[in-house]
Amino acid sequence: MNFLRKGGNRVDKALFEIYQSPQLRNPSLIVAWQTRDVGKLSVKIIHFLNEKLGGQKIAEIKPSGFFPLGGAAFKDNLLRVPESKFSACQKSDLLIFQSEEPKYEWYNFLNGLLDFAQHYCHIKELYTVSGTVSLTAHTAPRRILAVYNQPEFQKMLQGYGLEDMTWEGPPAISSYLLWLAKRRDIPGISLWPEIPFYLAAGEDPVATKLTLSFLDSRFSLGLDLGELDSDIGNQNEKIAQLREEDAEINEYINRLESGLSLNEEEQVRLARAVYELLKE
């Protein structure tokens, strides 16, 4: 079997395309999944970090065996397959991984991800970012819910305003990744910022800014998040105008702001109206 070597460690070369050797010291790994990306949170976070911190693509996991050909798309007469790429932000000592969720061989895919991050880049900790749908109004304060794989890491991150997440549904891919990281003694956390259900199909700049604020504070990145205030203001103005023009939509949001619930039909109507408004 062909292996990559760095510092005496071995990584199965057959899984990867390596473009350059990262100049990282002991980085933190940020993982963002683009499948079912609620509020486009993951895409926005990774794009912002790479742009502002000078992230450079250093490697990717080859799609063969993990993604079906049916998941590929044609653009400009070229076949576009799902990307699972690593970027290095050298000055900030961050390793960033973004990918669609694999369709097959989750265990091998996630272990390959961790092999490269641990043995080739020597990460010290893991952060995953995904949005979670909330039945609250967009005017309500957002929370970042969190799941940890080590109690010591949970204690270390006290003071950042994170709240423990309780979830009884099927585990997400980030949960599997945390479990595998725990077996390797890599501290890890899954971040789940709340996103109002009627913004889930579009964008939520408030949740984006909240998440970036946490990462900025945690890693002392020195990010200027002021440009997101314009996006937040524009979105709020559009929804406020919709509320003025549509009494029923205004009633729905008023009820959410009062802590009351909507039935399924009302939720669908609100979500559709806001989506149509914001996509213009």
- The CATH number of the domain holding residue 38 is 3.40.50.10900
**Cα 147 to Cα 40, 103, 128, 162, 216, distances in angstroms:** 20, 24, 10, 10, 19
Do 242 and 211 reside in the same domain of the chain? no
Which range marks the domain in which residue 66 is found?
3-221
Please give the single-letter amino acid code of residue 226: G
Residue-level pLDDT, tens digit, the chain, 280 residues: 444 555 445 677 788 999 988 889 999 999 999 988 999 999 999 999 999 999 999 999 999 889 886 545 545 555 566 889 999 999 999 999 999 999 999 999 999 999 999 999 999 999 999 999 999 999 999 999 999 999 999 999 999 999 999 866 567 899 999 999 999 999 999 999 999 999 999 999 999 999 999 999 999 999 999 999 999 999 999 999 999 999 999 999 999 999 999 999 999 999 999 999 998 6
Do 134 and 238 reside in the same domain of the chain? no
- E runs forming strands in the chain: 3-6, 9-12, 16-18, 28-33, 56-61, 73-75, 78-80, 84-89, 94-99, 125-129, 132-134, 144-148, 163-164, 188-196
Query: How many domains are contained in the chain?
Result: 2
Do 192 and 113 reside in the same domain of the chain? yes
Do 133 and 63 reside in the same domain of the chain? yes
The SS3 assignment for 270 reads helix
Q: Where are the alpha helices (DSSP H) in 77-172?
A: 106-115, 151-156
Tally: H helices and E strands in the chain: 8, 14
